[in-house]
Amino acid sequence: MSNSELLKLVEERAGLWLDPFYDEETRAEVQRMLSSEDKTELIDSFYRDLEFGTGGLRGIMGAGSNRMNRYTIGAATQGMCNYLKKSFPELPEIKVVIGHDCRNNSRLYAETCAGIFAANGIRALVFEDLRPTPEMSFAIREYGCQSGIIITASHNPPEYNGFKAYWDDGAQLVAPHDEAVIGEVLAMKHENILFDGPQELITGLGAETDEKFIEMVKSASLSPELVQKYHDLKIVYTPIHGTGVKLVPMALRAYGFTNIINVPEQDVVSGNFPTVVSPNPEEPAAMKMAIEKAVETDADVVMATDPDSDRLGVATRNLKGDFVIINGNQTALLFIYYIIGKMRENGTLKGNEYVVKTIVSTEVIAEIARKNQIEYYDVYTGFKFIAEVIRENEGVKKYIGGGEESFGFLPADFVRDKDAVTSIAMMAEIVAWARSKGKTLYELLLDIYIEYGYSKEKTISVTRKGQSGAAEIQAMMVGFRENPPLAIGGSPVVWVKDYESLVSKNPATGESVPINQKTSSNVLQFLTGNGTKISVRPSGTEPKIKFYFEVKGVLNAYDGLDEAEADVDRRIDAMVKELGL
């Protein structure tokens, strides 16, 4: 399509938004873009419809079909309403929970969704103010609801917002519901959205729900006696301007911790995130102020949450006494190691426990599970797949933990999504457990590596531009499938796992075995004889491809750490060059 053809199409689409059906503010914004000499903003706002994917909507806020606004969110909500009424025709009343984070317009969007549900005869239980995503997930189950939504764009920049959809188990939509809802949303015309339903079908949720949630968070504690003994651990916590500002300190105090140190500048609730470029605890810059506060107060641990409090960041002192951020794989390792170890100490392991990890997460989790005779599951990236395993095993096996490398963990199944509120309380408890053994959190992590094997991970993202970039990414995947490497880093590739065909092949022997996954995914993995795992995963929404490297090393004692890290870093760098990245 030529530029002139694209502009004509965009102007026609934008012209429809000048209809009196749209509110005055929206029409004025569209008219401004149409009248502007620079058509860049107009094109970006209207060249497509904002995609409703399996996780919901996410995009930049503003007027237009490719923007987050009351009409695109309204279409998503009306589509949800239509599907809910088809799915639960026998119920006298369908109920949904609505939550939102700190972002600009989040409250407005939440109230818009509530009005649409009510207009469709569906009761909307709406949190009175911003609340963490895990509490919303909990409330779906607690109040016997059929669905839920949270208005959040997670850790994206301030101009973004989003709409995440959940089902009656408190988890994000999975098959067949995800595709069915997408179908309803795609078929939705704005003029068919029912706005502004009766207020009597909208119910507020507040302190009572907080208390119920915190009581469940407290029930996840495995070492209340150690918390009591080490209650005055110095814990620096920052919500990075988000929803954790109230509930996370409340959870820590419910556990029994009494020395919580705030970062006042970041306790300010703001969708503009004034103290950071990105409100993402994975980014060192987002943790900088909290770490400075920890140095100033001689704290034991630093913890942070993203705007909707589903991801957590943790920083602790290394062997040199400097604060370092523990990555998502290491956080998951500490949780799994602690939960299994503490349950063994408490004599509460019954033999039916299991843990869950994602296929791109560290294999050390699997090694911990194997050596402790704990069943483990490998699932695709995304907590909805972890929640799916929990649902399938409910009442038969006991879930004791699951996580992924992107700073998310779920330590208890009363929530069915990443839960940074419970995770932070439990991480503080792990610090106390380490202290009881005369160790720091960092030393505990090294103990895990010494006992179960040392490895290090690195993720490389390759991004290309435009349509040609998307074709190049596709060609890379085809090339890896048709001509997989026979050796990487000097070690033979012993298995090529293709999650699209769900077949794992040994390129040397030709042997093939099926991969135990219910659905396919465009992911490749190369496993070498020396334990290296390389996962290749293209993005479904942009011309980008990710390479996840995990390389095993040797660590026998604390004083060998520098040498082990340097060796693994050197090998990863060599493999990156070898693959032409």
Q: Are strands 123-127 and 202-205 parallel, antiparallel or unpaired?
A: parallel
Go through 259-286 and write b for each residue having 16 or more CB atoms within 10 A of its CB, e for each that does not.
ebbebeebbebbbebebbebbbbbbeeb
**In this predicted structure, what is the pLDDT of residue 468?**
72
Encoding tokens for residue 133? 């995503």
**In this predicted structure, what is the pLDDT of residue 400?**
97
Q: Quick one: pLDDT band at residue 467, thresholds 50, 70, 90? A: low
Peptide bond into 224 cis (omega under 30): no
Q: Which residues are catalytic?
A: 154
Listed range (201-215, 420-434, 468-482, 542-556) with the worst mean pLDDT: 468-482
State pTM to two decimals: 0.94
Angstrom CA distances, 84 to 95, 125, 504, stand at 9, 15, 39
Statement: residue 99 has pLDDT above 90? yes
**Where is 87: in which H helix or E strand?**
helix 70-87
**In this predicted structure, what is the pLDDT of residue 206?**
97
Tens of pLDDT, residue by residue over 468-514, are 777 888 888 999 999 999 999 999 999 999 999 999 999 989 999 99
399, HSE (Cβ side, Cα atoms, 13 Å)? 25
Q: Can you tell me the distance from the alpha carbon of 431 to that of 300, in angstroms, rounded to the nearest whole number? A: 8
**In this predicted structure, what is the pLDDT of residue 94?**
98
Tens of pLDDT, residue by residue over 263-301, are 999 999 999 999 999 999 999 999 999 999 999 999 999
Other CB atoms within a 10 A radius of the CB of residue 537 amount to 22
**In this predicted structure, what is the pLDDT of residue 466?**
67
Encoding tokens for residue 441? 């959190």
**H helices, E strands: number in the chain:** 18, 23
Strand partners, 350: none
Q: Taking the domain 48-205, which CATH number applies? A: 3.40.120.10
Q: Quick one: pLDDT band at residue 175, thresholds 50, 70, 90? A: confident
Virtual torsion, Cα 20, 22, 27, 29, nearest 10 deg: 180
Statement: residue 123 has pLDDT above 70? yes
Statement: residue 342 has pLDDT above 70? yes
**In this predicted structure, what is the pLDDT of residue 113?**
98
**pLDDT > 70 in the chain, percent:** 99
For 179, the 3-state DSSP assignment is helix
DSSP-assigned states of every residue in 183-239:
HHHHT--GGG------GGGEEEE-HHHHHHHHHHHHHT-S-HHHHHHTTT--EEEE-
**In this predicted structure, what is the pLDDT of residue 1?**
58
Task: Delimit the CATH 3.30.310 region(s) of the chain.
Answer: 455-578
- Average pLDDT of span 72-100: 97
Q: Can you tell me the distance from the alpha carbon of 581 to that of 579, in angstroms, rounded to the nearest whole number? A: 6
Task: Delimit the CATH 3.40.120.10 region(s) of the chain.
Answer: 48-205, 226-452
211, HSE (Cβ side, Cα atoms, 13 Å)? 3
Q: Quick one: pLDDT band at residue 35, thresholds 50, 70, 90? A: very high
Note the Cα 344 to chain centre separation in Å: 29
**Where is 354: in which H helix or E strand?**
strand 353-358
Q: Quick one: pLDDT band at residue 85, thresholds 50, 70, 90? A: very high
Q: Which CATH number fits domain 226-452: 2.60.120.580, 3.40.1360.10, 3.30.70.2740, 3.40.120.10?
A: 3.40.120.10
- Average pLDDT of span 323-330: 96
**pLDDT > 90 in the chain, percent:** 89
* φ/ψ (deg, to 5) at 547: -115, 120
User: In sequence order, which residues have a C-beta less than 8 Å from that of residue 295 and are 6 or more positions away?
Assistant: 323
Mean pLDDT of the chain: 95
**Hey, what CATH topology would domain 455-578 get?**
TATA-Binding Protein (3.30.310)
Can you list the pairs that 282-289 forms with residues at least 24 positions away whose Cβ atoms lie under 8 Å?
282/155, 282/311, 282/313, 282/328, 282/406, 282/407, 284/325, 286/240, 286/313, 287/238, 287/313, 287/315, 287/325, 289/238, 289/263, 289/265
Tens of pLDDT, residue by residue over 139-159, are 999 999 999 999 999 888 999
Angstrom CA distances, 49 to 108, 151, 173, 455, 541, stand at 21, 19, 21, 43, 13
Residue with tokens 């968070």: 217
**In this predicted structure, what is the pLDDT of residue 401?**
97
Q: Can you tell me the distance from the alpha carbon of 458 to that of 445, in angstroms, rounded to the nearest whole number? A: 18
